[in-house]
């Protein structure tokens, strides 16, 4: 019982401090920084003592079932915590580095606009970090995973009056969301493989896992591939590496804690946590190792050609994480953990001293520059080396590849749906949606082929509506409405697939109606006040004049995208529990709808409330600043 209370305290402590920070006046910097500093100091000391006592008792893994949030005859959604050597390593490193960075930030961020916002976000990140590290099942891990993504977005866009930080924050969040498809599909497939909400503690039973994988090798490889997708996106591995320099737009301390030391290593953590599942699959190990090798080589070459010290450090870290992927694929778990600890501390130090190093180097070049004459010999010819240098300088066009392959197809499809205007969307939605429910009540009269096809048809309609929301530029209200209506089509698709209980429908759509209606009210209020600055063609920075409205709309945005503040988060998992094991197309359609819908919603928030203010009587930083 004492272990249960202590582990719960590690999660609740930063949560309580985060809430308290919101009530401290912005000008009281000392109280804000001290609250954060002592919270993380207490967290680190408490975790250090806990790990020492745990090792003294033998260091056996702990599985602590905390809270059952929803349960019916066939399904249970629970918050589960698990603690072992991997969790202990990540927990201690995270607490100590966060503690150091908060101390550094209290001086670095002095008199900075958004001082309280920065420290509140750091506390929120620490909450998400502990929640993810201590997660005992996929559902709990995904909650922490989502919180990590939001805190990352907020810290990259910390200088929200500037163009590039906001633009790059949206881009990084978009790549994170693409990786979320892997987590969602892995959760869905694992439910069908194990026929239960599997915990990480049960995955430690090698005989149990081997028995299931022998009979279901195909679905086992599918889950491993999904986990690799999520891990690669979170850790900036190939082909997702191009987001890492864009993430450096935030303050140097946030770059250190996120993309140098902690958040960037969560891909490795995911692979280590699920290692008992995929280590018996040679194909999965080969894929993980292959991704790591490619990233290590490309990251090394790109880092050598970068003109910015922060991007050099970032790509060097990505290259080292690629080597960690190889170590994990080879089964060298302890070596990967040691590598993680060393890389995390090294990159934290490098990023925190990088401003001073740059000033020293500039001074040295200014006073003591001596041109060096070198007669280089090119082992594969000068043209090859020059070509390799140019490719490294352009980051091997990975950013262009990501845009063309992942995002542009959604935009192109969405732009072909221009008949879905703000005025006539209900003219199309209401009759077709009513027809869908009529076919649900009269399914006994439908042909078998049509009954089997309807879930995919309605799932495709949901995705098309969200693609339109993703590409919409003229009407923010239309984009918001289409995402909300997409959830209703998802509910209809699942209802045709397997009968939804009324309580399940309320759990899922209740949060959609609540968050969607609240967000609609806020958007309409902003539209009435700012008719001339209310579209999605540019960033308008309305948070400057309407900070409370911006904060409330961010909460509505998170609720509508399924963030764990409304029942929709549980409803999304309920939706996937009603998709059969062989319905890969339907699972892909619905997971893509959730992910692209989240990107569309964050895009609305960023373009309306972030960026330099549209009105000329406010300060307007240059786009390159």
Residue 374 lies in a domain: no
Range of the domain at 574: 416-609
pLDDT of residue 616 exceeding 90 = no
What mean pLDDT comes out for the span 193-197?
Answer: 78
Q: Domain boundary residue among 319, 337, 358? A: 358
- Do both 42 and 177 map to the same domain? yes
- Do both 317 and 455 map to the same domain? no
By percentage, how much of the chain surpasses pLDDT 90?
45
| Number of folded domains that form the chain | 2
- Do both 492 and 577 map to the same domain? yes
pLDDT of residue 624 exceeding 60 = no
CA distance 394 to 44: 41
Predicted pLDDT of residue 594: 93
- Do both 341 and 202 map to the same domain? yes
CA distance 555 to 152: 16
What mean pLDDT comes out for the span 33-55?
Answer: 92
- Do both 233 and 139 map to the same domain? yes
- Do both 339 and 483 map to the same domain? no
Predicted pLDDT of residue 351: 85
Encoding tokens for residue 490? 């998802």
Predicted pLDDT of residue 566: 86
pLDDT of residue 352 exceeding 70 = yes
- Do both 426 and 545 map to the same domain? yes
Predicted pLDDT of residue 378: 65
- Do both 334 and 431 map to the same domain? no
Predicted pLDDT of residue 366: 64
Residue 534 lies in a domain: yes
pLDDT of residue 397 exceeding 70 = yes
pLDDT band at 406 (very low <50, low <70, confident <90, very high): confident
Predicted pLDDT of residue 89: 94
Residue 291 lies in a domain: yes
Give the CA distances from residue 280 to residues 254, 330, 412, 424, in Å, rounded to whole numbers and listed in that order: 38, 11, 41, 54
pLDDT tens-place string over residues 457-505: 999 999 999 999 999 988 999 999 999 999 999 999 998 888 777 788 8
pLDDT band at 195 (very low <50, low <70, confident <90, very high): confident
Contact 588, 189 (CB under 8 A): no
- Do both 353 and 420 map to the same domain? no
pLDDT band at 444 (very low <50, low <70, confident <90, very high): confident
Among 221-235, 307-321, 466-480, which stretch is predicted with the lowest mean pLDDT? 307-321
Predicted pLDDT of residue 618: 64
Residue 457 lies in a domain: yes
pLDDT band at 312 (very low <50, low <70, confident <90, very high): confident
Among 230-244, 268-282, 378-392, 431-445, which stretch is predicted with the lowest mean pLDDT? 378-392
pLDDT tens-place string over residues 134-180: 998 888 899 999 999 999 999 999 988 888 889 999 999 999 998 89
pLDDT of residue 213 exceeding 70 = yes
Residue 353 lies in a domain: yes
What mean pLDDT comes out for the span 233-248?
Answer: 88
Residue 75 burial by CB count (10 A; 0-12/13-18/19+): exposed, middle or buried? Answer: middle
What value does the mean pLDDT of the chain take? 87
CA distance 531 to 528: 6
66: enclosing H helix or E strand: strand 62-71
- Do both 317 and 428 map to the same domain? no
pLDDT of residue 411 exceeding 70 = yes
Predicted pLDDT of residue 193: 81
pLDDT band at 623 (very low <50, low <70, confident <90, very high): low
- Do both 215 and 297 map to the same domain? yes
More confident residue, 421 or 228: 228
CA distance 221 to 88: 29
Q: Domain boundary residue among 336, 358, 380? A: 358
Predicted pLDDT of residue 151: 92
What mean pLDDT comes out for the span 545-550?
Answer: 91
Predicted pLDDT of residue 64: 81
Q: Domain boundary residue among 312, 335, 358? A: 358
pLDDT of residue 43 exceeding 70 = yes
- Do both 164 and 16 map to the same domain? yes
More confident residue, 304 or 296: 296
CA distance 10 to 353: 30
Residue 363 lies in a domain: no
Terminal alpha carbon distance of the chain: 53
Long-range pairs for 397-401: beta carbons < 8 A, 24 or more residues apart: 398/238, 398/239, 398/240, 398/241, 398/242, 398/298, 399/242, 399/243, 401/239, 401/242
pLDDT of residue 279 exceeding 60 = yes
- pTM surpassing 0.85? yes
Residue 435 lies in a domain: yes
Contact 213, 612 (CB under 8 A): no
Predicted pLDDT of residue 375: 61
By percentage, how much of the chain surpasses pLDDT 70?
93
**Beta carbons within 10 angstroms of residue 358's beta carbon:** 13
Among 71-80, 267-276, 353-362, 445-454, which stretch is predicted with the lowest mean pLDDT? 353-362
More confident residue, 324 or 352: 324
CA distance 426 to 422: 8
Predicted pLDDT of residue 2: 63
199 secondary structure, DSSP code: B
Instruction: Find residue 83's DSSP bridge partners.
Output: 62
447: enclosing H helix or E strand: none
Predicted pLDDT of residue 426: 82
Encoding tokens for residue 495? 């209802």
Residue 6 lies in a domain: yes
């Amino acid at each position: 019982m004492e272990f249960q209370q202590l582990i719960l305290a590690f999660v609740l402590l930063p949560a309580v401090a985060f809430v308290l920070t919101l009530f401290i006046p912005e000008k009281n910097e000392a109280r804000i920084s001290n609250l954060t500093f002592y919270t993380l100091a207490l967290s680190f000391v408490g975790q250090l003592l806990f790990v020492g006592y745990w090792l003294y008792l033998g260091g056996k893994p702990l599985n602590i079932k905390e809270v059952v949030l929803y349960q019916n005859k066939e399904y249970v959604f629970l918050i589960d915590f698990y603690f072992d050597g991997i969790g202990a390593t990540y927990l201690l490193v995270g607490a100590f580095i966060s503690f150091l960075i908060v101390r550094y930030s209290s001086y670095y961020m002095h008199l900075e606009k958004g001082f309280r916002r920065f420290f509140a976000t750091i506390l929120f990140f620490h909450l998400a970090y502990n929640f993810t590290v201590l997660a005992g099942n996929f559902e709990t891990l995904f909650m922490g995973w989502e919180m990590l993504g939001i805190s990352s977005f907020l810290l990259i866009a910390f200088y929200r009056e500037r163009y590039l930080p906001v633009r790059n924050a949206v881009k990084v969040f978009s790549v994170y969301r693409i990786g979320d498809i892997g987590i969602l599909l892995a959760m869905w497939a694992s439910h069908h493989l194990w026929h239960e909400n599997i915990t990480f503690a049960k995955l430690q039973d090698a005989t149990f896992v081997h028995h299931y994988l022998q009979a279901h090798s195909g679905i086992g490889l599918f889950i491993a591939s999904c986990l690799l997708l999520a891990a690669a996106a979170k850790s900036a591995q190939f082909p997702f590496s191009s987001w890492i320099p864009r993430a450096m737009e935030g303050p140097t301390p946030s770059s250190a804690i996120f993309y140098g030391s902690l958040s960037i290593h969560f891909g490795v953590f995911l692979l280590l946590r699920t290692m008992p599942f995929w280590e018996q699959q040679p194909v999965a190990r080969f894929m993980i190792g292959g991704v790591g090798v490619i990233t290590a080589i490309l990251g090394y070459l790109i880092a050598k050609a970068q003109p910015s010290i922060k991007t050099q450090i970032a790509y060097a870290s990505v290259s080292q994480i690629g080597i960690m992927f190889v170590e994990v694929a080879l089964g060298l778990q302890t070596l990967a953990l040691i590598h993680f600890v060393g890389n995390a501390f090294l990159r934290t130090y490098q990023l925190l001293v990088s401003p001073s190093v740059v000033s020293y180097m500039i001074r040295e070049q200014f006073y003591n520059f001596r041109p060096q004459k070198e007669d280089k010999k090119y082992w594969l010819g000068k043209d090859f080396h020059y070509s390799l240098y140019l490719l490294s300088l352009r980051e091997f066009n990975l950013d262009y590849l990501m845009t063309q392959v992942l995002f542009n197809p959604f935009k192109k499809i969405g732009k072909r749906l221009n008949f879905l205007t703000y005025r006539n969307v209900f003219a199309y939605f209401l009759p077709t949606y009513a027809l869908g429910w009529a076919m649900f009540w009269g399914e006994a009269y439908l042909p078998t082929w049509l009954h089997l096809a309807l879930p995919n048809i309605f799932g495709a309609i949901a995705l098309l509506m969200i693609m339109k929301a993703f590409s919409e530029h003229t009407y923010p209200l239309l984009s918001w409405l289409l995402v909300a209506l997409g959830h209703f089509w998802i509910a209809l698709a699942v209802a045709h697939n397997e009968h939804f209980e009324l309580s399940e429908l309320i759990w899922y759509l209740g949060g959609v109606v609540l968050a969607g209606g609240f967000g609609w009210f806020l958007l309409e209020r902003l539209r009435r006040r700012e008719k001339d600055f209310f579209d999605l063609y540019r960033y308008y920075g309305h948070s400057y004049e309407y900070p409370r409205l911006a904060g409330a709309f961010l909460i509505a945005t998170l609720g509508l995208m399924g963030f764990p503040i409304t029942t929709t988060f549980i409803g999304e998992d309920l939706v996937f529990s009603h998709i059969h094991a062989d319905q890969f197309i339907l699972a892909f359609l619905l997971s893509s709808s959730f992910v692209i819908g989240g990107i569309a919603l964050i895009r609305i928030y960023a373009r309306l409330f972030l960026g330099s203010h549209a009105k000329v009587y406010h300060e307007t930083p240059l786009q390159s600043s």
